[in-house]
Every structure is written in C-alpha cells, then in structure tokens.
Structure 1
Amino acid sequence: MLLFFTLGLLIHFVFFASIFDIYFTSPLVHGMTPQFTPLPPPARRLVLFVADGLRADTLYELDENGTSRAPFIRNIIMHEGSWGISHTRVPTESRPGHVALIAGFYEDVSAVAKGWKENPVEFDSLFNESKYTWSWGSPDILPMFAKGASGDHVYTYSYDAKREDFGAQDATKLDTWVFDNVKDFFRHARNNQSLFSKINEEKIVFFLHLLGIDTNGHAHRPSSRDYKDNIKKVDDGVKEIVSMFNHFYGNDGKTTFIFTSDHGMTDWGSHGAGHPSETLTPLVTWGAGINYPQRVSAQQFDDSFLKEWRLENWKRLDVNQADIAPLMTSLIGVPFPLNSVGILPVDYLNNTDLFKAESMFTNAVQILEQFKVKMTQKKEVTLPFLFTPFKFQVVQDLVTSLLTYPLSHFVGYLLVFTLGIEVLVLSFFYRYMLTAGLTAFAVWPFLTRLWTRAKVTSLSWAFFSVLLAVFPLMPVVGRKPDISLVMGAGLLVLLLSLCVVTSLMKRKDSFRKEELLVHLLQVLSTVLSMYVVYSTQSSLLRKQGLPLMNQIISWATLASSLFVPLLSSPAVFQRLFSILLSLMSTYLLLSTGYEAVFPLVLSCLMFVWINIEQETLQQSGVCCKQKLTSIQFSYNTDITQFRQLYLDDIRRAFFLVFFLVTAFFGTGNIASINSFDLASVYCFLTVFSPFMMGALMMWKILIPFVLVMCAFEAVQLTTQLSSKSLFLIVLVISDIMALHFFFLVKDYGSWLDIGTSISHYVIVMSMTIFLVFLNGLAQLLTTKKLRLCGKPKSHFM
C-alpha cells in the first residue's frame, strides 16, 4: 500500500514537472543577425515618457468642467502629433509592460520562476541597440534594461525604493524627482565636455519612468482626486521637459517624443488581469518622423470612447504594445531588438514611401530570423518522424467516446459522482457552478433518511450551504472595498466568542481557567484586529500613512495565530473554534470587504458537516454517536481503529475536494491572485515589496483551506477514515479532473489564456501534494498541545 502510494506520488510529481519543462521554458532564442533600415533615420534622439499605471480613458476624457486634465498632451493630439490606444497583454504588470515597450516581446514565461528583480534570460532591447541611453525612475524597472545591455552605454538614475510608499502623503514626488533630475542632468551637461559630446550624438534615448500615478492609483483608486491631479502634474512636467529639449538642441527638429503607459488600472486600484481598464493605455507621439494630426469625419472604431473624449475628428491609430519598440527603433535608425515580435505601425511615420517599405521589410526579416533559429533548434532536439503537427482534436474525440458513463445502481451512483466532478471542472471557469453544487448539497439530507433522524442538523446544513452558495455569485475580492463589512464580520466573531466564553465559565473542570484565558486572548486579538483595520483605513484617508503601532499589532497577530490555538484543549469543538478565532483575526487584517464573512460561514458549515457525518455513520451502524466536546484530537491514532472503505467514503472525499475548491473560488479566481488589491495588506505594510505582499496574500488564500482541512481532521477522527485511503480517493478524483484540463491546456493566445489553462492543470495535478501539506499543517494545529507553563506535550485518546 505504501509502495503504491509512493509510486503514484512520484508519477504525479513527474507530470507536475513536465508542464513547467514544456511551458515555462524561455521561448527566447539567440544567434540572430541584427537587422536595421539602411536609409537615414528622421530623428537623432528619442525621449520616452512612461506614466506607470495611467489609464487611457482617464487621460483622454474631459473633466466635469469640460477641460482636459492634460492640456499639453491634448494640444499635441490636436496640433502636432499622432495618437491612439496601446493594447497591452496580460499580465498587466510593470515589468512585462516595460519589456514589451522597450524590447518588443511579451512576458517571458520563464520569468514566473525568476521574480521581478532579475532578467530570466538575456534579451535585446532598444536601449541595448542605442548608442547611449539615459534613464530616470524606479529602481524596480531601470536596472533590468541596464543589466541586459552589452557594454557600458545604458545609464540609470533611481531614487530610494522606500519612496514607493502607498501610504505616503504625496506620491507625485516620485515624478517631480524624475523631472528635476533630468533638468539638473542637462544643466550639468553644459559644463561637462564629455557628457555634452555624448548627448549630442545620434541614436540616443532618454527614458523617464513616472511612477506617481500608479502609486496614487493603488493607494486612492483611479477615481480619486489624487490620481487625477497627478496626471496634471505629469502633463506639466512633460511640457517643461519638451521645452527644455527644444531649447537645448536649438529646435533642430531631430527629437522624437513618445508618451505612453505600461498598463492601466481597475476602478478598485489593482492591475495584472485583462480588464479593458488595465489593457487600454494611451499612446501619443510627436516630433521628428511622426505624422501630424489627421482630421477625419468617420473612424473605424465602433465605440463610445471617441465621442466621450471629443476626439472623434482626430484619427486614432491603435497599436499592440510590442509594436512601439519597432516604431522607436525605426525613428532613430538602430537595429530592431533581436527578440522583438512587434509589427511596425507605419501609419505613425511621416516619411517617404521608400523609407516605410524598407522599414517594414527590415521588420519582417528580423522576425523571420527568429523563426529560422527556433526551427533549427527544434529540429536538433526532435526525432525527424516526430517533427509533425499534433492532431489534438482526434485524441480528444477518442477519449470522449471511451468515457461513455450501462444503467445499474452502481453506475447511477457513478453518474452522480461524475456530474459532481463536471461541476468542479466548470467551476474553474464559472464560479457560479459552485452555487449550483452547494444548492444541491442543501437538498441532500432531505432526499435521505437524515431528515427523519436529525432535523435540526439537516436544517442547519441546508441553511449554511445556501448561505455559502451566495459568495460565488459575488464579484471577486477587491472590486468593491467596504470596511463596514469587515467590522461586521468581526462583530459576528465576537458574538460567537461571547457564547463560548459563557459556556466555559459554567464548566467546573481543571482546565476551565486555562481555556478561558486562551479564549479571552483570542477575543482581545479580534478586537485589536478590528481597531487596526478601522484606524489604518482612517489614517490612509487622511494621508498620514500606516501607524507604527498598527503595523506592530498586525504582525504580532499574524505571528501568534499559529501557536495560540495550541494552548487550547484538544477536544474537537474547543480546538476547532480556537483555530477559527486565531485565523479570523489575521483574516480580518487582510480583508477589504465581504470576503471577511466568508471564513466564518465556511466554518459554520464545516461544524455542521462534522455533525452530519456522525449521523450518517451511526445510521449505517458503524459506530455509536459521540459528543464533539468529548472527542479529542490525538497525535498518535491506533491504526486498528481504521475500518474498510464504504461507498459513502467516496462522497466524503468528494465533499472535501468540493469544499477546498469553494475555499478558493468562493471569493476569487486565478486572475484575482495576479491582480490582488494592495489595500488588503495595508495593515501590514504600505511600502512596495512584491514578495512580502505576495506572501501575505498567499496566507490569506490559505486560511480557508486550513479551516476546511482542520474540520476534515475531525471527520476522519469521528468516522475512523484512514488518511491513506482518503488520499487514494482524492487521487482518483483529481486525476479525472486533470484529464479534462490536460485537453484544455492552450499554447496559443494571450498570456492570460495560456497561463490560466496551465494553472488549472497544475492546481488539479498538485491537489494530492497540496493535501499532504495541508494535512500536516492541520494535524499540527489540531493535535499539538502547548501548556502556558511547563513542557509542551501531545494528548492521546
């Protein structure tokens, strides 16, 4: 049995790793010949402004007074240059956005395992191909282009990362720092002959990364006055820089200016997913080699934006974000970035037809060079008879035909089981399928003899199942922050705590005082969490940042949440309730809205589930019913107590998988992980730290899983179900689901489409491994007993 289990686990590790080997290997190749247009370029220098986190609609629309928030940029659109929308790809984050803009290719999938701070592989970029590049801005963005550059010709000037504080009073200082340092740089150049000579060369680039708008958007939302006022500050700064360039170079007409953004932002202040507010960014270009505004009576875009922006009479030229890189290289006459997949948007060019044709040809040859190298590499590592297209649909149809689900009692049970698995598969795409499943769960006791044996338990099960079924119908976490709901969830926890404390005070055993002290500590922790959430929100609204005391309390609550439950009694009810109180304190600190209520409702259903499984087992005559207050978790359970598997155990394992999926999709989806609301971690930190923020959000996601697994520990204990048997059943369930997702894996489309399909497969394939981890954590939380005084010890039944 152990050998079979180990072998199965190893096989699944291989399947798990194979996806990363196939899909998470860098698609970038090297060895291509650089390609450039042989004709003289229209510009000697290029100035690139990237307003991080700027939405296209917020820049282009008029304010409530009918005036533009960016009058200088709007004047450029109407009188000097060309404009349009730059369509970004998912993930709509700063790193991939800037790589697309400056290197011309979309996010390298191997970057998932490499992080933000380094380049996953060497790649070519506009900066690398330039003679010199000077850049100013965030320390998170600039170094990756300097690191990938050959030689010593890319210069970076960054401020301290501590300036990127989402709780800061004035994030526009990030942008004024850039503008001021650029002006200081040119003043210094007048007195430095070496520098003066360099900045008068041709094929040079100046890059201004402006992070203030993104920071204000995260902190105050894009609809806030702070976000919109920051746009005006950027517009003023761009106007000053343009005037300075024209004056410094004597209005020689050889400077090209490009103003754009790496990504947009949702109404609730996040980015990373594929909502239009995140993927539609502005693009405004003017100067050397750029077309002048074109007046039109009709446009090809069938949307309401143009009329809202009152720009319907100025021709709009949309591009894909990666197309901006070949546009910039063509304008200053440097080789196209070797890894670029962008297509030159010739409509932006103001030049001869010969120059346009040569540039398009060079662009095509540069992309063809990549194809040739990739094909050569693939042939070298592939057997000749395998180097053919894979006929995917034939295999899919064959498997589907082989899965045809005769009628008998067992097959009827199997059909219901399979239907349940299909609901789980569909829930990965449509969260409301969980609502359908939970509604079916609510009806289940009334279709069996449970209703006649345990009316109160059956009604409680139906009530909490229906209540939990509401959550998948609500928007994903972060879209509508509401601190009052967090406060309400805290009050419900305090009300339940009061009931438990009251019952403890009536007890007269020797552990009463110790138990009472533990619960009072947890009540205090809940009260402090509510206070921290409220006061932090108030402080941030006043732009006073995160109070230090609130930060200390938050981290102390998080640190204590894993060991305070170990001080409580190992009795099932007391220990589970203690775990709920501790984890809820942390969850409240990480909540911004309705999701704060979710673990509470889920836990209530879990308590009822434990009771209802006792009823079903007693109904089968397997064991006698025991009170949850008398059953204790034990670190070492006698294996002779384990019984053989029954058909009903398949249902229990399915319930476990269903509740685990609900624990994740009840309040979010895969996209919501990528674009989580930064407001969720403001009680812990406001200074930008992607890894720390990501770790906090992962713990928030794990808390409902831990609650489900701790409850199932009680189900295993009361039903005498072996963990090994459970994992074998879950293995079958996850493999059937994985078979579906295997045939749904995509290797085409946007990063969101590809990444989501792979994520589904990986999540299901790793479910058994994930359960082993969760089971170990749940066993630690439920069976370990610490004493307030003396040595820790484990309790035995």
Structure 2
Amino acid sequence: MKCYNFCIPTIFISYVINIFVILLTTFNSSIPNYVEPVGYTKMPPFSKRVILISIDGLAIHILQTSEQNRISFLMRMAETKGVMGIVKAEAPTETRPRHVALLSGFNEDLFNIWGFWKRNLHPFESILHNAQFSWAYGDPVAIKPFLVEATDRRSSSMKLEYYPEISHNSMYADDFVLKKFKTFIETDLNKFIEADEVTQDGRRGKLLFLHLCSVDDAGHHGGYNAPLYDQIVLNANVIIEQIYELYRKKVSEEDLVSTTFIVTADHGTKPEGGHGGSTDDEIFVPFFAWGAGIANIPNSNHAFSLLAQQNSVSTLVASLLSTLIPSYSQGSLPIHLLNASDQIKSNLLRSNILHLMKLNEALIHKANRHSIISSFTSIGPQANFDDRVEDLKSLMKRERVLLNSLFHSKWMLWSRASFLWTISAALTSFAIVVDLMGYRTSKIAPNYTTIFRICTLLIALIELFRVIDCCRDKLLNFLDYTTEPNFREICVLPFMCLITDFILGGYVSSGRLMISKMLEHFKMSKYQILSFVLLFLQSYLIIAAFHRPEFHAAAGVIVSINLIFNPFRNTEWKFARIFSLVLTILYSLWMLILHSQPIETNPNLLGHQIILGFILLSLWILFNAVTYSIKIDRIMLHEWFLLEFQNLLLHVLIIHTHLFGLNIYDRSVLSALSQYVVRHFNGSNTPMLINIPVLVVVLTYIFITYKRNQKQRKQTLKAQALIWLILMPLAFIYGFTHIGEVKSWYRIGTDTAYFIYLSVAPIFCASILTVLSDFAEYNQRPK
C-alpha cells in the first residue's frame, strides 16, 4: 500500500501554526499599555462628592407601573429631584465585567480568556482610582478588580472592603453593606465632606461606591417573577432610603446639595433566573440619579428612555467631580444628564474627545508595533484642539466618530493578518488537492531545492514549537501581560514558509497542469452549473447553521430542489424518492416558518428538528441507493464529482442537524439530558449516548462510500476527499471570522471550539478517506 500521498509536512505545519496564531491574535489584549491621562480638571466641579450604588441583578421590569411600588423611594427622588431611565450594558452580563464597565468605562477584554475569565489580567484605572479619596463596600467579585498593591501611591486614598466568600442567605450581602456604611458615617464622614486637597496629578472629589448583591442572589433562585425576588428588591429600596436618610441627617444642607446620588445595576435578570447573555432582560437596567450637577428631567418616569451606555457612567462621574477620565474608558459623555449651560457642556465634550483621540492613538501605536503593514494613521491632528469653537451637535458627532473608530482600532492587527490566513488556507487546500489527484511532478528535484525545502521545514517546526509554547505561557503565566508575542513574526513567518515550499515543491506548475487537464473535456450543462452554485450555497448554510439553526431547514430546501432535477434519475425507488423529496421540502419550509417566530411560542421546536433529521436521513439512504446503481461508463468525471458533492453535503447536513440544530451541547440541554440519564442509566454515559447517532451516521457513511468505491471503481473515496479539501478554506474562513464576539463567555468557548472543528474536521476526513482509497487500490491489485 502506498504511503500518504498528501502528507505535505511544511504546508501542513504552517496550517497548524495559523490555527494557534489566530487564537493568540484574537485573544490578545485590546488595552494599550499606556494612555496619556486627560480629565475635566479645567472645569469647576458640579459635585464635591458622589455616592454610586449598584443593585446587582436589578431587572428592567421593575420600572413597569405594577412594580414601581417596590422602588418607591428611588422613583420619588428621581422624579422630584433628578432623572430616571434605562442604561444599556453589553454582554457578557456577569458581575465582574459589568462593574469594570461601570467604573472603568470599557467592556470585557478578550485577553482574560487566558485566565479563564476569573479576573482582569491587564491592570487598569477606574473612577475609584481617579477620585481624590474613594470608599467601596460589597461583594468580592465586584470589589476585587479595583484593588491596588500596597506599594501603589493611590492605596492610601482608597478604602475597599468586601465580605468573606462564604455561603450566606439572600439578605446577608445588603446587611453587610448597610453596616459598613454606618461605620463609614462614624469614622470617615469628615474625610468625605471636607474640601479637596491640592494635588499634582489632577485627582479630585470623593466617591463612595456601594454594591448591593442580594437582588442578584434572589434572581438566581427563580428569576424576577419569584416572590423572593420582589421581597429582596423591596428590601434594597428600604436600605437605600436608610442610607440617604442617615447621610442627610449627618451632614449640613450645603454638603447635601453638593452631593450626587446615582443608583443603577450591573446587569438584569432573565424571567426564569440567571444572566450572562445578551437578551433585553439582561442588558437593559434601570438608572436613577439626583443631586448636584444632575438635570431634573420632568416626566422621565413615564418615558423611561435610553439615557446612556453603561460604560458612560464612569465618564459621567468624572465630569461631575471634574477629575481624570479613566485611561481606558470608551464611553461617551451623557451631557443631557448634566445641569449645565451649552458652553460648559461643549468644554466637557472637548475633554472627552481629546481623551478618546489619545486612546485611539495608543491603540493604533500598539497595532503598528505588531502589524504586518504599519500603515495606520490617526484620526486627525490633536494640536490646538482645545481652542476650536464647535457647537454641541458637531462635538457630539465627532465623539461618535471616535467611538466607532475605537472598535476598528482594536481589531486592526487581526484584520490585517486575516488575509494571510485566508490565502494560507486556500494554498494549503490547493497543494493537498494536487497531491491527491496525482498531478505533482515526479521529476527529481535539484539538490539545492531539496536543501531549501528541508531548511524551510525546520523553520516551520521551530515556529510551531514557539507558538505552542507561547499559548502554554499564556495559560500558565497569564499575569505577565507585558510579554506579548511578536505578532508580525508569527503571522508572516509561517506564511513565507508555506509560499517557499509551495513554489519549490512544484505545486505551481503541477496545479496549472491539473487545472488544464480537468478543463480539457469539461463541458457542463446549465443544470450542472446551477447545481454547483446551489451546492456551494448549501455548504455555507450548513456551516453557518451553527449560529443560525434555521439555516438547517434552508439547506434542506436547497438540497431537495437540487435532487429533484438530478439528471441521473432511474426507475428504482422512484415513488419513495419523490415522496421523500417533497416531504423534505414541505417540512423544511415549515421549519423556516417556525424559526421566524419567537422561540417562546414554539415549545415543540426541538421535536420538529428531530423529525427533520429523520426525514433527511431517509433521503440520504434513498440517494445512496440511487447513486449505487449508476453505470460508471455513462458518467463524466465532473458529473461524478457533482453526485459525490450532493451525497457528502446531505450527510454533513444530517450530522449538523443533530449536533447543532438540536443544540445538544447547550448547557441547559446537557443538564436535562444528564438528569434523564442519571434516572435511567449510568450518569457518566451522557456524552456517549448523545453522540451515538453521530457515530452511527459517520460509520454508515464510511461503510457505504467504501462499498460504492469497490463496486464502481470510480475513486469514490478520493472524490469525497477532494470535496472535503475544496470545502476546507470556506470552513476555515467562516470559523476564524466568528470567534471573539463577546455575546457571553459560553458563546466564546463554543465559537472557539467550532473554529477548531471547522479547521481540523475537513482535513481529517480527507485523510481518512485517502487512506481507505489507498487500501482499496492495494486490495484490488491482481495477486
């Protein structure tokens, strides 16, 4: 038996390197190491002190008329003295990242995946650090990210305390905060209300942050419709009223009117309980503000409009205190919440715009250090920016442009490297196809060419070990955020190794020969051209259905229409095939209608998906029976390829319908399956049981394809391998373009696993099929 004719060491190693490099580049920190501080220090402060309260897990439904009595104090204060409305958070809606956004102004850094999302690995500034003195009490998850080392000069001006990480009842957390506030009134109130000291670093104002966690605890036990949740919300409202009244009685009227109160939440709660995703119940949270510097907006309790993004709250607090903006803040300044003239608002906007410009410059500088093409330019000159006279509308527009540019600046390095990854995947696929089809030249290469190829292979191996070691270091030594890999080198070097081996290995001339031979007698009918287009569209739908389950039904419609007009119809199984095709089309269209409706109205959607899987399975069996009976002397190579393409995609559609259409790897589905298995079987067998259908279909596919290969002698196995290799770049490109979207931590994990699956599965399947093909050829030789 001949050895693997498509083992191409250098090209394959470069492909593996690219997989690791994509993970390193995607999950690189988007936070620059240094941003020049900018603040509102040229303006007199609106407020001398701010009391910021976060009610963890407070759902937006609390603003409904029937629920407002549970937050009567907050409603009364905001309605008569300030403003109330809605603030929008971003996913993941978890306590740590949302409080980082609330107090520091930026959303989750993907770099934290190397620390398994347990903490912020890159040091950062928050409004707690930029106030002249700050206090914070609450849950350790919310408070710990803002702690500083004892050697930090800011440690003497910060007092951050959290309760022990032990099990407790739902009232304990809020009672702890209330007790700490009472102690604060006795020991630190004088420091809180005294005049600011003159400092060299520009820090101003006093900030007290209180984190009430009991509402979130209650939300995890039954959701916001549970009686316990309503009770805890009512208790939180009472505690905030006690805090306000205790403070009001202890300070003078002058100190009270120079204090700002802000009450909001880090995230919401789903009706059934829990959080972490991006549903409206999770990302929209209430916002109440009153006191010094806050505009009194009449009737805001009726409209409940979107007041700001959550990452703008730290910018708002900085403007109220006229202190430094947190260095990595990416929030806009909600000037409509400020009780100030247009001139003052314009000056504040200029300061925030200047900060955003400096942050953008820092991101561009970071990208330039590592990018393969250092051609990024800044948004515009910063010189004399403070002296420009612009109206509010123009300034707000400029701020929006800068905020949009921040997103692109964070992904500059990734986007510039992505075209190298795309080309690498295409060349890898093409080179393996040349070897698989047997078109690579058999001429003996000159000695110097062999030496160059060996050197290229060694360089690729060294780079592979370096990249793997870099990933290992990120996992083991993730605290050292400054040890960034040289992204320019790890992107360009494997690409150059691939190009070198591609040219020296003779793949250019061999590929040209292969294409010319294949096109020599290549005449396609209109149906076949349309069929190829539909097959590639179906390929995309099958791959993309991981994120859009309705695409399984759409792919079912396309494959059925394609098979109806199959030119290789025969009388065998005629009525069964027609019935199966029509049934598949009708049921797939019905599934598309069901997917277009809210999932709450379709509790039986999972059952319909199972039925669709069985219908597709019957269609695949019938199609294999038809293909098995085709006379090989009546079919051209491209026609045979078309049939195998249809067969393969139908098979993959069945597997993906089971794996992803049924969503069997979702945590809730796995939990339900595990409970069922524990009741009826051994609980440890859950993974095996849910994958039995996949294993059966895969083994059946390999067996039937192998049998057809033995009968028809048309290289069925190699044809299937060729299709896998042609689909490989499409799968690879789709995979790496969909990781890194922070919908939830679980979503990032599944998207990363899917990327690895799409990168490895096609080449693995092609390898297995090629080995089986070689084995079949060996057995068919005359003895």
State the TM-score, normalizing by the size of structure 2: 0.62
Correspondent of 1:731 among 720, 725, 728: 725
Tell me whether 1:73 sits opposite 2:47 in the alignment: no
Quick check: 1:88–1:97 contact (8 Å CA) kept in 2?
Answer: yes
Change (3 A) 1:368 1:41: same
Residue 342 of structure 1 and its aligned partner are, at CA, apart by 1.4
Provide the secondary structure at the position in 2 that maps to 1:311.
helix
Change (3 A) 1:701 1:339: farther
CA RMSD for the aligned pairs?
A: 5.0
Change (3 A) 1:46 1:683: farther
Correspondent of 1:712 among 698, 702, 712: 698
Which residue number in structure 1 is paired with residue 338 of structure 2?
349
Which residue number in structure 2 is paired with residue 34 of structure 1?
37
Residue 759 of structure 1 and its aligned partner are, at CA, apart by 8.7
- Residue-by-residue CA offset, 1:131-182 (whole Å, 9 max, x unaligned): 444333333332222268945335231353645xxxxxxxxx43x3233223
Which residue number in structure 2 is paired with residue 258 of structure 1?
262
Question: Aligned runs of 1:318-717 on 2, under 5 Å?
Answer: 318-350=307-339, 356-381=345-370, 386-387=375-376, 407-408=524-525, 411=529, 413-424=531-542, 427=545, 431-441=549-559, 449=569, 452-453=572-573, 473-474=593-594, 480=600, 594=604, 597=607, 601=611, 604=614, 608=618, 611-612=621-622, 615-616=625-626, 618-620=628-630, 648-667=643-662, 681=671, 707-717=693-703
- Residue-by-residue CA offset, 1:498-537 (whole Å, 9 max, x unaligned): xxxxxxxxxxxxxxxxxxxxxxxxxxxxxxxxxxxxxxxx
Which residue number in structure 1 is paired with residue 55 of structure 2?
51
Which residue number in structure 1 is paired with residue 401 of structure 2?
none
Quick check: 1:217–1:227 contact (8 Å CA) kept in 2?
Answer: yes
Residue 119 of structure 1 and its aligned partner are, at CA, apart by 0.8
Give the counterpart letter for 2:247 in structure 1. F
Provide the secondary structure at the position in 1 that maps to 2:7.
helix
**Whole-angstrom distance in 2 between the partners of 1:132 and 1:264:** 30
Provide the secondary structure at the position in 2 that maps to 1:141.
helix
Which residue number in structure 1 is paired with residue 485 of structure 2?
none
Correspondent of 2:237 among 218, 235, 238: 235
**Whole-angstrom distance in 2 between the partners of 1:372 and 1:88:** 26
Which residue number in structure 1 is paired with residue 125 of structure 2?
124
Residue 72 of structure 1 and its aligned partner are, at CA, apart by 0.8
Count of residues in Structure 1 that have an aligned counterpart in Structure 2: 588
Provide structure 1 residue ranges, at least 5 long, that are not aligned to the other structure.
164-172, 297-305, 400-404, 483-592, 623-644, 686-698, 778-797
**Whole-angstrom distance in 2 between the partners of 1:682 and 1:145:** 38
Which residue number in structure 2 is paired with residue 783 of structure 1?
none
Residue 95 of structure 1 and its aligned partner are, at CA, apart by 3.2
Which residue number in structure 2 is paired with residue 136 of structure 1?
137
Change (3 A) 1:365 1:663: same
Quick check: 2:267–2:283 contact (8 Å CA) kept in 1?
Answer: yes
Which residue number in structure 1 is paired with residue 165 of structure 2?
160
Correspondent of 1:61 among 60, 64, 84: 64
**Whole-angstrom distance in 2 between the partners of 1:33 and 1:97:** 24
**Whole-angstrom distance in 1 between the partners of 2:591 and 2:242:** 50
Change (3 A) 1:443 1:477: closer
Which residue number in structure 1 is paired with residue 388 of structure 2?
none
Provide the secondary structure at the position in 2 that maps to 1:86.
strand
Change (3 A) 1:700 1:449: farther
**Whole-angstrom distance in 1 between the partners of 2:116 and 2:697:** 35
Residue 731 of structure 1 and its aligned partner are, at CA, apart by 3.3
**Whole-angstrom distance in 2 between the partners of 1:115 and 1:261:** 24
Quick check: 2:728–2:763 contact (8 Å CA) kept in 1?
Answer: no
More off after superposition, 5-14 vs 128-137? 5-14
Residue 125 of structure 1 and its aligned partner are, at CA, apart by 0.9
Quick check: 1:134–1:207 contact (8 Å CA) kept in 2?
Answer: yes
Which residue number in structure 1 is paired with residue 247 of structure 2?
245
Quick check: 2:173–2:213 contact (8 Å CA) kept in 1?
Answer: no
Correspondent of 2:758 among 745, 750, 767: 767
Change (3 A) 1:196 1:599: same
Provide the secondary structure at the position in 2 that maps to 1:244.
helix
- Residue-by-residue CA offset, 1:213-240 (whole Å, 9 max, x unaligned): 3444444233444444433222222112
- Residue-by-residue CA offset, 1:559-581 (whole Å, 9 max, x unaligned): xxxxxxxxxxxxxxxxxxxxxxx
**Whole-angstrom distance in 1 between the partners of 2:190 and 2:764:** 61
Provide the secondary structure at the position in 2 that maps to 1:140.
helix
**Whole-angstrom distance in 2 between the partners of 1:477 and 1:20:** 35
Quick check: 1:101–1:325 contact (8 Å CA) kept in 2?
Answer: yes
Change (3 A) 1:678 1:198: farther
**Whole-angstrom distance in 1 between the partners of 2:717 and 2:230:** 56
Residue 321 of structure 1 and its aligned partner are, at CA, apart by 1.4
Change (3 A) 1:365 1:257: same
How many percent of aligned residue pairs carry the same amino acid?
19
Give the counterpart letter for 1:20 in structure 2. L
Residue 39 of structure 1 and its aligned partner are, at CA, apart by 4.2
Tell me whether 1:290 sits opposite 2:294 in the alignment: yes
**Whole-angstrom distance in 2 between the partners of 1:311 and 1:75:** 13
Quick check: 1:603–1:707 contact (8 Å CA) kept in 2?
Answer: no
**Whole-angstrom distance in 1 between the partners of 2:555 and 2:47:** 62
**Whole-angstrom distance in 2 between the partners of 1:476 and 1:158:** 47
State the TM-score, normalizing by the size of structure 1: 0.61
**Whole-angstrom distance in 2 between the partners of 1:468 and 1:372:** 51
Quick check: 1:83–1:317 contact (8 Å CA) kept in 2?
Answer: no
**Whole-angstrom distance in 1 between the partners of 2:179 and 2:84:** 30
**Whole-angstrom distance in 2 between the partners of 1:705 and 1:658:** 15
